[in-house]
Amino acid sequence: MELILVILIAAAAVWGLVAARHCSLLTGCVCFVVVGCVWGHNFWHGRIGPLTLTTDRVVLVALCGLLAWRFKSGQLQLRPLAASDWFIALLLGYLTVHCFLTPRAEGVATTVSPTWRLIASFWIPAVLYWIASQAELSERIWKTMLGCLVVLGSYLALTGLAEVSQQWWAVLPRYISDPDLGTHFGRARGPILMSASLGMYLTVCFWAGWFLWSRVGKLWRLPLLMLMLLMVVGVYLSYTRSTWLGLAVVAVVIPLSYLPRQWRLPTAVGLLLFGSFGAMLFGSKTLSLSRDDSSAGHSVSQRASFAYVSARMFRDQPLLGCGFGRFYDKKLPYLADRSQQLELESLRDLDHHNTYLSLLTETGLIGFGMFMAVLVAWGRAAWRLAYNPQQAVWVRAHGLFALAVWLNYVTNAMFHDLTLAPSEQWLLCLTAGISVGLQTATSSRRNVATEASNTMPRVPTAGSLALPSY
C-alpha cells in the first residue's frame, strides 16, 4: 500500500509540474473548489503528525507554491491591497486572538472544534480569496471557470436525482450512500452530505450557466439550457426552503439589471407585491411541504427560539461575545427561561442556525462588525463592476455573477450557520477574489494613465502663447 501511495504522489507531482507551466491560478482555484466538493474529507484523509491531509488541502498547498514560484520568477506581479483585504486581515486577527483566549468547554462535546472552524472556515477560504485576487484574469479564463462550474452543477444535480430516486448504483462517490454520514439522508444532499450545501452550490452553478449561455455557440445553448433546468430540479429536491429562497432572490435581482433604469423600481415593487400575495396564499403549504422527516414545521418555529436566546446572550455580553465556538454550551443556561411561550429546550443539542446571530453572540459587536464589513466590501466590489459602463462586457458580467453568489450566500446565512461548513465559503471567496482583482487592476491602470498624462510635456496652445508687442 505504501508503494502505491508513493507512486501516486510521484505521478501527481509530475502532473503538477506540467500544470504549473500551463494552467492559470484561477483554474487552480476552481480545481480546489471542485476537488474539495466532490473528493473531500469523507472520500480520503490522512494524517501527518497533528495535521489532517485532504485532497483539497493538498491542492491549496500546491496553489500557494505555484503563486510563490510565479512571483519569484517574475511571471506574476502582486496587486496592491484593497480595502476588503484590510477588513479580512482585521477579522482573521480578531477571530484568532478571540479563539485562543477563549477557554475550551468542559464536559460538553461540541459538534465542531473552534480551532478547526477557525482554520477551515476562515483562514483557508481567505487564502483562496487572496490567490483568486492575484490570479491572471481574462475572458477566456473566466469562461473556463464558468464551464467548470456548469459541469460541477450537472454532476451534483444528477447525483441528487439519483439519491432521491434511490438509484444508488449511480451515486458516486460511494460514501454518499451511507446513511450514517452527514445529515438529511433521503433528500438530495450530494458529496458534501448536506442538502443546504447542495442547494447553494446548484444555485451558483445555475447562474454560471446563465452567464455562459450567451458566450457559447448556438449548438451548445440547448444542452446548456437543459442542464440549467436540471440544476433547478436539484435545488427543489434538496427540500430546503432557504436554498429555494436564495435561488428566488437572485432570480429577481439579476434579471432586473437587464431592464432600463427607469423600469427597475416599478418592476421590483410589482414583484415584491406579487411575492407577498403569493406568500399569503401558499406560505403555509410551503412551510408544511412534506419531506422524508417530520420535523419541517418544528425547524421553522425553532428560528424564533434561536433569535430569542441570541438576543439574551448578546444583552449579557454585547462587545466581545461569549467566546468563539462557545454558543453550543453557553446557550444552555438560557434554555431554562420560562418567561415566554417559545419552546427552547429543543436547542440543547443544536448549533446555531443563523450565521449573523452566531457571530454576534460569540464574537460580539466587534467580530460581527468586521464580518459585515467584509461582506459589504465584497458586495460593493461586485456592484461597481456590474454597473460600470467603462468596463468590458465580460467584466460587467462577472460583477453580476459575483453579485448573484453574494446574494445567495447572504440569504442562506439567515437560516444556517455557514461557518460550520468550510465549503460554504469557497464559492463566495472565489468570486469575490476575482471581483477585487478586477477592480484593483482597473484602478491601477487608471492611476498609471493619469500619471502618464501628468508627466507628458504640455503642448502650448494659441491662447497660451505670449505674442510679442510692437
User: Per residue in 197-238, pLDDT tens?
Assistant: 999 999 999 999 999 998 999 999 999 999 999 999 999 999
Count helices and strands (H / E) in the chain. 16, 2
Give me the DSSP letters along 257-279: TTS-HHHHHHHHHHHHHHHHHHH
Contact 280, 228 (CB under 8 A): no
Count CB neighbours of 367 within 10 A.
22
296 located within any domain: no
266 located within any domain: no
Overall average pLDDT of the 347-361 stretch: 92
Overall average pLDDT of the 37-64 stretch: 86
Rounded CA separation 41/174 (Å): 13
Output the pLDDT for position 463: 37
- Sign of the Cα torsion 449, 455, 456, 460 reads positive
Q: Band of the pLDDT at 460, cuts 50, 70, 90?
A: very low
The region of weakest confidence among 81-85, 348-352, 440-444 is 440-444
Cα–Cα separations (whole angstroms), residue 99 to 332, 362, 428: 20, 10, 23
Q: Band of the pLDDT at 462, cuts 50, 70, 90?
A: very low
Model confidence at 376: pLDDT above 90:
yes
Overall average pLDDT of the 67-86 stretch: 89
Output the pLDDT for position 5: 44
Cis peptide before 255 (omega within 30 of 0): no
- Give helix 139-164 / helix 218-237 axis angle, nearest 10°: 40
Model confidence at 143: pLDDT above 70:
yes
Overall average pLDDT of the 7-30 stretch: 66
Q: Band of the pLDDT at 53, cuts 50, 70, 90?
A: confident
Higher pLDDT among residues 373 and 24, named by residue:
373
The region of weakest confidence among 38-52, 145-159, 344-358 is 38-52
Q: Band of the pLDDT at 467, cuts 50, 70, 90?
A: very low
136 located within any domain: yes
pTM of the model: 0.88
- Print the domain residue range for 49: 2-259+302-450
Distance of CA 158 to the CA centre of its chain: 22
- Strand 45-48 relative to strand 51-54, pairing: antiparallel
Q: Band of the pLDDT at 262, cuts 50, 70, 90?
A: low
271 located within any domain: no
Q: How many domains does the chain have?
A: 1
The region of weakest confidence among 168-177, 290-299, 353-362 is 290-299
Contact 117, 420 (CB under 8 A): yes
Output the pLDDT for position 290: 47
461 located within any domain: no
Mean pLDDT taken over the chain: 84
Q: Band of the pLDDT at 296, cuts 50, 70, 90?
A: low
Rounded CA separation 113/121 (Å): 11
Backbone φ and ψ for 52, nearest 5 degrees, come out as: -100, 125
pLDDT tens, position by position, 165-195: 999 999 999 999 999 998 889 899 999 999 9
- Sign of the Cα torsion 67, 72, 77, 78 reads positive
Give the cell for residue 295. 420535523
277 located within any domain: no
Output the pLDDT for position 451: 46
Rg of the chain taking only CA atoms, in angstroms: 25
Q: What is the DSSP letter of 332?
A: G
Overall average pLDDT of the 134-154 stretch: 95
